[in-house]
Structure 1
Amino acid sequence: MKVIIFTKKSVFKSLAVVFIFLFSVFYAATGKYELLNVFLNTQRELPIYCVDTSDKKVAITFDAAWGDEYTDQILDILEKNGVKATFFLVGGWVDKYPEKVKNIFDKGHEIGNHSTTHPHFSQLSPYKMKEEIFKTSEKIRRITGKETNLFRPPFGDYNSLVVKTVKEAGHYCIQWDVDSIDWKDPGEEVIYNRVVSRVTNGSIVLFHNYAKQTPLVLDRIIKELKKKGFQFVTISELIYKENFYIDHTGRQKLIENNKAGM
């Protein structure tokens, strides 16, 4: 007769497997896969596309990588409407237009990092990614006197390693859930309809400071969203800084809220 010997290690492993199985069955039944992913750390790394909130808040953002032709017009429209936005700046743009960087900051807008040379981050090593991030954050600090901890990957290009590396560099990785596609110059009505129809609570909207149709339609967009009851905030005012997870859609959620609904 074969004798089976149970060791403490084998018993512990068996109990762990049973616990994980029961835990997964429970969350499958309740639909709370997100917290299970947090617990097991199996979910792929995602940037923040938008924020789960009951408040009617929206953050509008502008990427600045090339020219500055329309920057002053955009700033004037934002100021006229009492709106603060977040500008993601490329290091080369910071070098070329330092007075614009200072002006954006002095007008109360938030400044984020958009890399140094605008490369595809998924094609870089972690070392090169951090070099791109740290160089531009330092350039921004020298002009504004303030550290930035927001980063947006150029082209919206990322993978799990990119998001993980951005976190290791001490920055929140920011994407968007509403793309104005203003860089394509699709027409004012296309930009207007895309934005006002897609913004929801916690949305992050993508614009570009060098898109010629943006200043022509921005005022209308802001006024319409205000009519709908939306409040404009910066990215730092919108996102959660701790006790959060990001679900499979890129929506940032508070872990405490999820637990409260159990």
Structure 2
Amino acid sequence: MRVFIVTKRRLCVGLAICLSMLMGLGVGMHAALSSSAKGERLLPIYSVQTEENKICLTFDVAWGNSDVDEILSILETNGAKATFFTTGEWVDRYPEDVQKMLAGGHDVQSHSDKHPHVAKIGADQLRADTQACADKLLKLTGTSPKYYRAPYGEYDNEMMQTLSDYQVIQWDVDSRDWKPDATVESIVKNATTNVKPGSILLFHVDAKAKNTAKALEQLLPTLTGQYQCVLLDDLVLTQNYTIDHAGKQIPVAT
């Protein structure tokens, strides 16, 4: 058996080495934590980079249903598909309209349950609110939502991390039909001026100005003459992509 004699000098050297290693580890951990704290802003999807002439029409649905039938009729006439982001409360009030949307070949996704300001509620409340909407849609349609649009378009890193199971969808073209003074002409102009392949357009059901349907009647023949209006499933990527500083989803070669 070998016997090692540890002298005072060796002990001091060993302790110094251990202390140095611990300090280095501490610096590394601090750097990692600092990097995480300073992490880049997490962005939802505003548009998609594509060479195909595809765009997505999306509608936020949280208020009444005054123009649902008219909007659905105009979409059908123009061969356009759309994604409707509904609140759970709206689903409770108008289940028949949700079924009409699906029957027309459109998609229904989550716009929260009670339309809260997400920055003003905690992560637990956000999860509960989002799950409530998901449960209602699953019960009514048989399918759980996989896309989420935040009320008021508000988001932050905490929200994005909390709802990481969803693909959060914004828009790069705002029709501004939600403004009380929105006219047919202004909606048409806003919805057609900056459209490009991969654009996601924002409209509303039962907007205050009540001009959305009339504007769609004018602008859809133009849009469908240039683009195919598809569901999010037919445009948004689910893997192998990055998102740039403007929220554009860009495919990554594998």
Q: TM-score, normalised by structure 2?
A: 0.82
Greater than 6 Å deviation, 4+ residue runs: none
CA distance in 1, matches of 2:251, 2:122: 31
CA distance in 1, matches of 2:39, 2:250: 17
Paired residues, what number? 225
CA distance in 2, matches of 1:86, 1:254: 22
Q: Identify the match of residue 202 of structure 2 among 187, 201, 206.
A: 206
CA distance in 2, matches of 1:87, 1:105: 10
Secondary structure of the 1:210 match is coil
Give the equivalent residue in structure 1 for 2:191: 195
Q: Which runs of no fewer than 5 residues in structure 1 stay unpaired?
A: 17-40, 258-262
Secondary structure of the 1:69 match is coil
Give the equivalent residue in structure 1 for 2:216: 218
Task: Look up the equivalent residue of 1:236 and give its one-letter code.
Answer: D
CA distance in 1, matches of 2:140, 2:182: 34
Secondary structure of the 2:139 match is helix
CA distance in 1, matches of 2:233, 2:132: 21
Give the equivalent residue in structure 2 for 1:158: 155
Over the matched positions of the two proteins, sequence identity in percent amounts to: 38
Matched, 1:48 2:45: yes
* 1:6 Cα deviation from its structure 2 partner: 10
**8 Å CA contact retained: 2:175, 2:190:** yes
Structure with the greater alpha carbon radius of gyration:
2
Give the equivalent residue in structure 2 for 1:250: 247
CA distance in 2, matches of 1:219, 1:181: 16
CA distance in 2, matches of 1:200, 1:6: 61
CA distance in 2, matches of 1:166, 1:222: 33
* 1:226 Cα deviation from its structure 2 partner: 2.3
Secondary structure of the 1:248 match is coil
Matched, 1:57 2:54: yes
CA distance in 1, matches of 2:122, 2:134: 19
Give the equivalent residue in structure 2 for 1:97: 94
Matched, 1:120 2:114: no
**8 Å CA contact retained: 2:60, 2:205:** yes
Matched, 1:236 2:233: yes
Give the equivalent residue in structure 2 for 1:173: 168
* 1:42 Cα deviation from its structure 2 partner: 4.0
Deviations 1:60-82 (A, max 9, x none): 01111010000000000011111
> Mean Cα displacement is larger for which, 41-50 or 112-121?
41-50
Q: Which runs of no fewer than 5 residues in structure 2 stay unpaired?
A: 1-15, 29-37
* 1:111 Cα deviation from its structure 2 partner: 0.6
Q: TM-score, normalised by structure 1?
A: 0.80
Task: Look up the equivalent residue of 1:194 and give its one-letter code.
Answer: N
By percentage of residues, which structure has more helix?
Answer: 1
CA distance in 2, matches of 1:162, 1:88: 17
CA distance in 2, matches of 1:154, 1:175: 10
Cα root mean square deviation, aligned: 2.3
**8 Å CA contact retained: 2:87, 2:111:** yes
Matched, 1:186 2:182: yes
